[in-house]
Amino acid sequence: MAEEAVLPKLDPMPPEMIEFTLLKTTGALAPRLGRIALAGRQNMVTPAYIGNTSRGIVPHISQDNFRKTADINGVYVPLEDFIEKHPQQVPPVLQYDVPNPLRRFIALPEDTLLVLGARRNPPIAGASPNTNTEVGLSTSVGFRSLSSEYYAAAVRRLQPDIVVALADIPFGQQTIGSRRKDKMSDRTETWLRDMIACKDTLDQGEKSWSIFAPILPLERDLQSWYLEHLLDDMVDHISGLAIYDTDLLDDLPLQLHHFPRLSLHAPASPHALLRQVGLGVDLFTVPFLAEATDAGIVLDFTFPPPAKHESTSTRQILGIDMWHEDHAISVRPLSEGCTCYACTKHHRAYLQHLLAAKEMLGWVLIQLHNHAIIARFFQGVRASIDGGTFDADVAAFDAYYEPALPEKTGQGPRVRGYQFTSEEHAKKGKKNPTVYKNFDAEKMLGLKAAHGQQPNKKPEMRHVFDDQALLGLVGMEELGIKADPDLPLGGLRLEHDGKA
Ligand SMILES: [Zn+2]
């Protein structure tokens, strides 16, 4: 097929279709600025990120905080989070008989872009294998399968703004044979066709949506069947691309270059994000945000990086572990200079206390901060592309910061069934270790003595009140907080050295 760029279409798009305008680009696989516009939604200047949701919300960010505090213009919502009752029952979201049922079901603001996919990003591997007609899913109660027709019908009902068409990808499989690769290409072609066919049968006045076509994590010649058909007779029906392996972007046919590119290739670090931006990816979900938050890690990086001091040879960390004992009595903000809600209202010692006490607010505050950091990161990325300094800024970023996020040390929030891989499910023992437990009798007597309490004279009342009053102290002794009651703030010190 001839490799020539397709001229921009002159026909006006229907109001429900997204419109993507390239504002600045320097080459086929170069960083680029674009704008995604859709009637009724906030315009999004790309490169940008969208919120990665779990069960309809960005983890830890309630709907009111989403509106008030978080600067998130779009979200990615996987259908597998909602259909655990399928096929025995019709899932509640599909019974919801209102306009824009999915948006209403998850209480998403009207002006936030809603992207629906079949699977989470990144998906849990090991779901039942895909067949010619069905994709294996991992729901909150176990593995299920989803047919291509069901997915298209669900999309028609749920009315997202953008839908990522089904892709046949054997997630988690280390080696994929050549016959299996052929099947990936064949099935993805059929399933994309199903989605387009469903859209073509929409009634007059029924709300439509934009389709993002998957680009498989395969070399170009191995998905040539699919790509040829995509270019021959489906290209006019799609509005964007979902990229599963950004390292293979140079295989992307030129005729597809003007489409917005959503990355479903989870980046491990900000460096990996920058690499994808450098290849011309426009939209991202950033799974490492929530992973860092759950680990109690406060992200701490900016793009472009600050000017490097000549005297320091060590690279800066990308995030601060709030579990570290250094923060137990520190009243410094989470991240110096950050203007987010968490950093302007609270300090590190309080954050560590919240984490140690398993108080939900701890993760809420870190998540708000981490999203503020990534929003500013993308602002910096766009300014850098606009100013023509992107490559130099990336080199400076690589030299300034450590190559990876810090290791997780502390315990995260309570994990749910759908957050486990199947191997973890198979392991014996409790998934969430018991946090609170009673002291033995001897320890209780010691504690009571320390508080000036005598054992209750009525033996039957001994464990009723006193034990409860002390429960809040359990588990705190490992924190190493040595408060000095003679000093103001119990010995908490104010620090001014400006070092992390
Ligand atoms: Zn902050």
Domain ranges of the chain: 14-286, 300-457
| 370 Cα to the center of ligand 1, angstroms | 7
Has 198 been labeled as part of a binding site? no
| 313 Cα to the center of ligand 1, angstroms | 26
Looking at the chain, how many residues does it have? Answer: 500
| 405 Cα to the center of ligand 1, angstroms | 17
Instruction: Give residue 196's pLDDT.
Output: 97
Instruction: Give residue 456's pLDDT.
Output: 60
Mean pLDDT per 10-residue segment, the chain (500 residues): 47 75 92 97 97 96 91 95 91 94 97 97 88 92 92 97 97 91 96 97 93 97 95 97 96 95 97 98 97 96 88 88 95 95 96 95 97 97 97 97 92 68 61 71 81 64 46 45 54 50
First to last CA, the chain: 56
The domain at 14-286 falls in which architecture? Alpha-Beta Barrel (3.20)
| 336 Cα to the center of ligand 1, angstroms | 8
CA-based nearest residue to 247, from 213, 286, 218, 285: 218
| 343 Cα to the center of ligand 1, angstroms | 4
| 419 Cα to the center of ligand 1, angstroms | 26
| 119 Cα to the center of ligand 1, angstroms | 30
Has 340 been labeled as part of a binding site? yes
| 103 Cα to the center of ligand 1, angstroms | 28
Instruction: Give residue 482's pLDDT.
Output: 52
Instruction: Give residue 424's pLDDT.
Output: 63
Q: List residues, by chain if needed, whose CB lies under 5 Å from ion ligand 1.
A: 338, 340, 343, 369
Instruction: Give residue 491's pLDDT.
Output: 53
| 480 Cα to the center of ligand 1, angstroms | 25
| 472 Cα to the center of ligand 1, angstroms | 29
| 374 Cα to the center of ligand 1, angstroms | 10
